[in-house]
Amino acid sequence: MTDSDRPASEEQGDGIDRPAGLNDTADLDDFVAEHDLALVEFYTDGCSICQSMEPILGNVHRSSPATVGTINPRDDPPLIDEYDVRSVPLFVLFVDGEPVERIAEGFVETERLIDLIESHAG
């Protein structure tokens, strides 16, 4: 999968129900600052598990109180150290702009991500 296959940056409620494509640290910082509850997937091109997460993330984006974004840390290498990206996909939940939980276990089911998000909603 190439970056062009990832959706352009879009927000929930604009009529397009898919995760926002983030390009770099500035995009990520703006994204988590704009949304009280945000789930971000760190992925890499060619990662088959990351590709299999796309429909799951779409479901989470449409069905949970969080806004979902995706970012390739290889496009902005300092992100790798900042978020301790050791494997992908890595899911980081942000509440009020701060990372509060992370899952780095490969494929994650819709229900588990929604449960994680809902445990921090409110």
H-run or E-run covering 22: strand 20-22
Average pLDDT, the chain: 89
Of 101, 102, 27, nearest to 71 (Cα)?
27
Domains of the chain: 3-105 (3.40.30.10)
Of 63, 59, 22, nearest to 41 (Cα)?
22
What is the value of pTM for the model shown?
0.87
Kindly report, residue by residue over 18-65, the tens digit of the pLDDT.
899 999 999 999 999 999 999 999 999 999 999 999 999 999 999 999
Q: Which residue has the higher pLDDT, 12 or 20?
A: 20
